[in-house]
Amino acid sequence: MVAAWRQRVHVAQGFPKSNTDTAPTAVFLSLFFLSALSHAFIFIRNKKRGHLFVFNGLCIGFCMARVVTCCLRLGWTYDIENRGLGISATIFVAAGVLLLFIVNLVFAQRILRGLHPNIGWQKALSRCLLVLYLLIPALLAMVVTATTQLFFTTNRNIVRIDINIQRAASSYFLFVSLLPVPITAFALLYPQRSEPDHFGKGAFWLKSAVVLSASLILSLGAAFRTATASYDWKPEYNTNPPWYNAKWCFYFFNFTLELIVVLMYLVLRIDLLFHILNGSKGPGSYSRYSKESTGNEDVETRGLQRRSTDIMSQDSRVPGSPVNVSAAEKESP
């Protein structure tokens, strides 16, 4: 017998079932776990070299959040009447991707500061972006509260308010996922009034391509979730659901798109593309990383040259060496 709460609660793309959800969930669990290990390998190796890049750490956190999401969905699949598992799985599905939104927005901000230092470092712009960042956890807390209430309340007015909260938060998250596109486009198209402030490795066009691609991929998933959240669920949809409630939609517009972005970050080495010197602040501070890196390479090169010269000098004093043989031949009558 179906519990009463399951008859009134609508879950996007339906409740998980063992015959349709076990296999794909297990596959994505493995893929996200391997992605977390790959980012962790790069993060630890860089840290040992003094090259700390926190965004690899955020990618690790996102992948592990998705591992937890898959574990919760698997548990809920085989204990479908467990409301606690249902609430946790639903919240983790909505919350995990926000880490990628933040990472991509920070990268877009760095591109703007690199190409237009005098604009990108404006205090007003930095404060606006800070407000955007702070609103994300605030809205997430509201989504958690609204989702939890939907699993328990029978009051129609509360249900309406909770659904509106979810829709408003989803619309804001869509805005955040798309925001790197106009920021990056402005940075590329606006005439430069000052010298670019280079950072990391690679050209600005490659950095911009990574940010724009990730933003468009992530916003596709956010747009799908926002659009489907705007539709009112009708009882007849239980027997004849629309196309956007199919299982493949859940796994494609959530896990697949997110995995593409995580792997793109991994393959294209964001730790090299977007790295800046710790403590960078103000126009011109990014370029210090490139200059210091070049300076270090020059020091190492000069050291290698000196060591090579010393070794050759030592070899010239060793009996039987080609240099000594040549000298002996010159001295012989």
108: exposed, middle or buried (Cβ count in 10 Å: 0-12, 13-18, 19+): buried
Q: Residue with structure tokens 């930095």?
A: 126
179 CB neighbour count, 10 Å cutoff: 19
Residues in the chain with pLDDT values less than 70: 1-8, 233-239, 288-333
d(CA 301, CA 273): 24
User: Given this model, what pLDDT does residue 38 score?
Assistant: 94
Q: What Rg do the C-alpha atoms of the chain give, in angstroms?
A: 28
Give yes or no for a contact between 275 and 46, defined as CB atoms under 8 angstroms apart.
no
What would the 3-class secondary structure string for 99-137 be? Answer: HHHHHHHHHHHHHHHHHCHHHHCCHHHHHHHHHHHHHHH
**The whole model's pTM is what?**
0.82
Q: Which amino acid is at 281?
A: K
User: Given this model, what pLDDT does residue 107 score?
Assistant: 94
The CATH class of the 12-233+245-293 domain is mainly alpha
d(CA 58, CA 96): 11
Give yes or no for a contact between 273 and 290, defined as CB atoms under 8 angstroms apart.
no
- Alpha carbon of 110 to those of 86, 104, 134, 176: distances in Å? 39, 10, 19, 16
Encode pLDDT of 283-305 as tens digits: 777 876 555 444 444 443 444 44
Encode pLDDT of 46-83 as tens digits: 888 888 888 999 999 999 999 999 999 999 999 888 88
